[in-house]
Chain A
């Protein structure tokens, strides 16, 4: 029997009797990171990293949580479980499982480059690697963060010259914190949408150092929002909530901005190719570094990546999961 099976509830370890990122309620869930398609309601116990716990509390409320540090072993029925940095967002972890000398690693979502706020990705040797493939095509090759940050900074400065507010669309958990580094070098005041504010407060309380931000509320004076620099979640894009910033320009921060058609579909004034997922070369180098003999490819371009790996002599198969290509954002009140 394989160490991990693919069931209709999610990835299941029979020997240890636990699930990883299940999409239905289960008694014991090991969670890679706090994005809503990986961490869902209703499970009995959630095992996660210390930094993920407060985010799960924010998003899922009070549950039974077990928090561990990276590389700290937990045993279930003789199966050794440990978490290792995945570099995707704050607290995001790969799950390493060891049983009778056999090692499997579940990547969750990951990126291999250092973004300055999520702990850098740690390659973990294993026999079997279960990898994501969100950007598993060679057209997805990211430029370095510093170049993209410079683009964002210049865009804000250009908008300010023309007295236009700059609205940056970024996921409330992950991208929103990451781009603060780009924004704080060009402006003193950073405004955020309520959904981002909540995440921000949670992370600060957990001891993460982040720049000061101001929350946009119904009481915020329009005069204060002139020429503002604002971070808002994808749900706010195109909504009436943006009207208060008029005149404004919208810049979307996402790996999908790599392709013109996507940019045009988003109707954004600017697209910044900034992703929290590994690009094509990142995926290949991560897979190679594990030394795995067998690779399962999940959510994304799984058929392409697994075929490519097979042709390169790495045994691979695609697996269907319920993880999304993009995080589903809850519409929080602003």
Chain B
């Protein structure tokens, strides 16, 4: 008996989940792309590239329905959810599932059926979902639930998807990457149209795949003659592409999210920029050409509607550092120097110093001089420097050799763990999400959470400590004996009245477990305030 679209999809998830090698994942994906129904293929590309369908049922409703189906109390379902770390999976594990074979449909059938329910009553939605819960097999249940909750966490990079598609589609990988990034609606796009040799209509919004840099681990002197290199500040914003084509402006983030509407500031560029250009740069809040802290940018991107006050207080600019397209022509294979020269002309001619700036190359005649300049990064609100070979072309993805990010060391502080919570995904049922505190007199005051930075083995040890030293329980959170000391690293610090400590950290993570230190040795709130005074502007 041949498998239905949903079963094939469930099988794909199972295979991707259980394969530990990139090649096995690639094999499973390309196998899927060569046999799945056409509309399903489009949806899988969409789902695994973060284009989840609109959510039509909330988590709470799903939990209530599941509790009713299984006759379990709400709190027990919540405990299960905290342990599994994924609601779709929790529900699939709790429901009995259909043990008889029944007809199931294509993946696209379920997605479309769910989408049609958007405007329907809660009761109609409930009826549809519960009917599927009763009809589907256990394996298919998880896949179905995931269509509602989204977030596959399946570890498929865009590159892997492109490579998998390249085995069954007669297109160059870079063209596939170009096609599947950008704006398209899986509900109205056919597989043929998405990946055909001859697209019926031109998509003017399409960005290029970003060229990403590795971190420079060795001394810059090893890169050779400084004359061959261009240095720039590495800005602390959102990497983005600013596109002007066909009289319109489009702004893409590196996460391949179209963000044009979030930044109305960029609308003024429409009449000042020539047609047929793509700029690569950084989306940063800035006043009078000076960057503002990243924390302020976060107050802007979280909102659907931006108030006048926000536009005045946190204006957004674009710091351009590369030009990928000019006069409708892909110029990524030009040398960097030539691209940047053209770029500076475009920026100067636009003459909008509050919205569009050139991220100017830094002049230095020796590596030593550049090292001194780099030490000033924090006062420039930069994360360090970028080093780019002057004759480099603009490549696709993270490549070694021509571009390097050369970040300054993070700020650090020693703190004690006081709360722990179980993680998600591969950290399910393990206490991996921690809250840390510094000393305030003889009290402890929490100041940050951190989720990353320990090895799997260390996480197991801390998990064991939490299980043995939990004091109190607040929902999924455990308060633990303040004993384990960690060195916390972060990129920036800002004043905050949302946090008890009065500070908010940028990108906090665990640098190392200080087994040599006790809670008496940790830093104080005064130390944090000192860092805030130094770097918090």
Taking CB atoms, residues of chain B closer than 8 Å to A138 are 70, 72, 76, 80, 94
User: Which of chain A's residues 243-281 have a Cβ closer than 8 Å to chain B?
Assistant: 256, 258-265, 267-271
User: Which of chain A's residues 301-331 have a Cβ closer than 8 Å to chain B?
Assistant: 301, 303-304, 307-308, 311
Taking CB atoms, residues of chain A closer than 8 Å to B79 are 137, 301, 304
Of the residues B19, B76, B80, B425, contact of A261 by C-beta under 8 Å: B425
Please measure, in the bound complex, the distance between the C-alpha atom of A141 and the C-alpha atom of B94, giving whole angstroms: 8
Contact B456 A259 (CB under 8 A): no
Please measure, in the bound complex, the distance between the C-alpha atom of A262 and the C-alpha atom of B18, giving whole angstroms: 11
Taking CB atoms, residues of chain A closer than 8 Å to B63 are none
With both beta carbons as reference points, the residue of chain B lying nearest to A264 in the complex is identified as B426
Please measure, in the bound complex, the distance between the C-alpha atom of A271 and the C-alpha atom of B19, giving whole angstroms: 11
Please measure, in the bound complex, the distance between the C-alpha atom of A269 and the C-alpha atom of B16, giving whole angstroms: 10
Please measure, in the bound complex, the distance between the C-alpha atom of A263 and the C-alpha atom of B70, giving whole angstroms: 25
| Nearest 9 Cβ contacts at the A-B interface | A261-B428, A264-B426, A139-B93, A265-B426, A139-B80, A261-B426, A304-B79, A267-B20, A261-B425
Given A138-B70, A265-B427, A308-B76, are A259 and B19 neighbors across the interface (CB < 8 Å)? no
Taking CB atoms, residues of chain A closer than 8 Å to B418 are none
Taking CB atoms, residues of chain A closer than 8 Å to B75 are 307
Of the residues B85, B94, B473, contact of A303 by C-beta under 8 Å: B473
Taking CB atoms, residues of chain A closer than 8 Å to B317 are none
Given A262-B428, A308-B76, A311-B73, are A269 and B18 neighbors across the interface (CB < 8 Å)? yes
Taking CB atoms, residues of chain A closer than 8 Å to B94 are 138-139
Please measure, in the bound complex, the distance between the C-alpha atom of A263 and the C-alpha atom of B20, giving whole angstroms: 10
Chain A CB within 8 A of B430 CB: yes
User: Which of chain B's residues 24-60 have a Cβ closer than 8 Å to chain A?
Assistant: none
Taking CB atoms, residues of chain A closer than 8 Å to B73 are 308, 311
Contact A137 B19 (CB under 8 A): no
Of the residues B18, B84, B93, contact of A270 by C-beta under 8 Å: B18
Contact A264 B80 (CB under 8 A): no
Given A137-B79, A138-B70, A138-B80, are A263 and B90 neighbors across the interface (CB < 8 Å)? no
Q: What string of 1s and 0s marks CB contacts (under 8 Å) between B87-117 and chain A?
A: 0011001100000000000000000000000
With both beta carbons as reference points, the residue of chain B lying nearest to A251 in the complex is identified as B18
Taking CB atoms, residues of chain A closer than 8 Å to B86 are 260-261
Taking CB atoms, residues of chain B closer than 8 Å to A262 are 426, 428-429
Contact A263 B17 (CB under 8 A): yes
Taking CB atoms, residues of chain A closer than 8 Å to B473 are 303
Chain A CB within 8 A of B83 CB: yes
Taking CB atoms, residues of chain B closer than 8 Å to A261 are 84-86, 424-429
| Least distance between B13 CB and chain A CB atoms (Å) | 9
| Least distance between A139 CB and chain B CB atoms (Å) | 4
With both beta carbons as reference points, the residue of chain B lying nearest to A271 in the complex is identified as B18
Q: What string of 1s and 0s marks CB contacts (under 8 Å) between B431-473 and chain A?
A: 0000000000000000000000000100000000000000001
| Least distance between A133 CB and chain B CB atoms (Å) | 12
| Least distance between A36 CB and chain B CB atoms (Å) | 16
Taking CB atoms, residues of chain A closer than 8 Å to B424 are 261
Contact A259 B17 (CB under 8 A): no
Please measure, in the bound complex, the distance between the C-alpha atom of A265 and the C-alpha atom of B85, giving whole angstroms: 13
Contact A259 B429 (CB under 8 A): yes
With both beta carbons as reference points, the residue of chain A lying nearest to B424 in the complex is identified as A261
Contact B84 A268 (CB under 8 A): no
Contact A139 B20 (CB under 8 A): no
| Least distance between A279 CB and chain B CB atoms (Å) | 11
Q: A139-B83, A261-B85, A268-B18 are in contact. List 14 more A-B contacts (CB 8 A).
A: A139-B84, A139-B93, A258-B93, A259-B84, A259-B428, A259-B429, A260-B89, A261-B429, A262-B426, A262-B428, A263-B18, A265-B426, A265-B427, A303-B473
| Least distance between A101 CB and chain B CB atoms (Å) | 36
| Least distance between A263 CB and chain B CB atoms (Å) | 7
Taking CB atoms, residues of chain A closer than 8 Å to B76 are 137-138, 304, 308
Count A/B pairs, Cβ under 8 Å: 66
With both beta carbons as reference points, the residue of chain B lying nearest to A143 in the complex is identified as B138
Taking CB atoms, residues of chain B closer than 8 Å to A256 are 429
Taking CB atoms, residues of chain B closer than 8 Å to A308 are 73, 76
With both beta carbons as reference points, the residue of chain B lying nearest to A270 in the complex is identified as B18
| Least distance between A89 CB and chain B CB atoms (Å) | 23
Taking CB atoms, residues of chain A closer than 8 Å to B18 are 263, 268-271
| Least distance between B470 CB and chain A CB atoms (Å) | 10
| Least distance between A318 CB and chain B CB atoms (Å) | 11
With both beta carbons as reference points, the residue of chain A lying nearest to B17 in the complex is identified as A260
Given A260-B89, A303-B473, are A137 and B428 neighbors across the interface (CB < 8 Å)? no
With both beta carbons as reference points, the residue of chain B lying nearest to A320 in the complex is identified as B468
14 contacts between A and B (CB under 8 A): A137-B80, A138-B94, A139-B94, A141-B93, A258-B93, A260-B17, A261-B425, A261-B428, A265-B427, A265-B428, A265-B456, A269-B19, A303-B473, A307-B75
The CB with the most chain B CB atoms within 10 A, among A259, A261, A271, A304, is that of A261
With both beta carbons as reference points, the residue of chain B lying nearest to A307 in the complex is identified as B75
Taking CB atoms, residues of chain B closer than 8 Å to A139 are 80, 83-84, 90, 93-94
Please measure, in the bound complex, the distance between the C-alpha atom of A268 and the C-alpha atom of B456, giving whole angstroms: 14
Taking CB atoms, residues of chain A closer than 8 Å to B17 are 260, 263-264
Contact A265 B93 (CB under 8 A): no
Taking CB atoms, residues of chain B closer than 8 Å to A263 are 17-18
Please measure, in the bound complex, the distance between the C-alpha atom of A295 and the C-alpha atom of B495, giving whole angstroms: 51
Please measure, in the bound complex, the distance between the C-alpha atom of A311 and the C-alpha atom of B79, giving whole angstroms: 15
Please measure, in the bound complex, the distance between the C-alpha atom of A135 and the C-alpha atom of B185, giving whole angstroms: 43
| Least distance between A304 CB and chain B CB atoms (Å) | 5
Please measure, in the bound complex, the distance between the C-alpha atom of A235 and the C-alpha atom of B20, giving whole angstroms: 19
Taking CB atoms, residues of chain A closer than 8 Å to B84 are 139, 259, 261
Taking CB atoms, residues of chain A closer than 8 Å to B80 are 137-139
With both beta carbons as reference points, the residue of chain B lying nearest to A267 in the complex is identified as B20
The CB with the most chain B CB atoms within 10 A, among A139, A264, A265, A269, is that of A139
Please measure, in the bound complex, the distance between the C-alpha atom of A261 and the C-alpha atom of B80, giving whole angstroms: 13
User: Which of chain A's residues 151-189 have a Cβ closer than 8 Å to chain B?
Assistant: none
| Least distance between B139 CB and chain A CB atoms (Å) | 12
The CB with the most chain B CB atoms within 10 A, among A256, A260, A301, A304, is that of A260
Taking CB atoms, residues of chain B closer than 8 Å to A269 are 18-20
User: Which of chain A's residues 117-159 have a Cβ closer than 8 Å to chain B?
Assistant: 137-139, 141
User: Which of chain A's residues 284-312 have a Cβ closer than 8 Å to chain B?
Assistant: 301, 303-304, 307-308, 311
Please measure, in the bound complex, the distance between the C-alpha atom of A159 and the C-alpha atom of B166, giving whole angstroms: 27
Please measure, in the bound complex, the distance between the C-alpha atom of A263 and the C-alpha atom of B73, giving whole angstroms: 27
With both beta carbons as reference points, the residue of chain B lying nearest to A299 in the complex is identified as B467
| Least distance between B20 CB and chain A CB atoms (Å) | 5
| Least distance between B87 CB and chain A CB atoms (Å) | 12
Taking CB atoms, residues of chain A closer than 8 Å to B426 are 261-262, 264-265
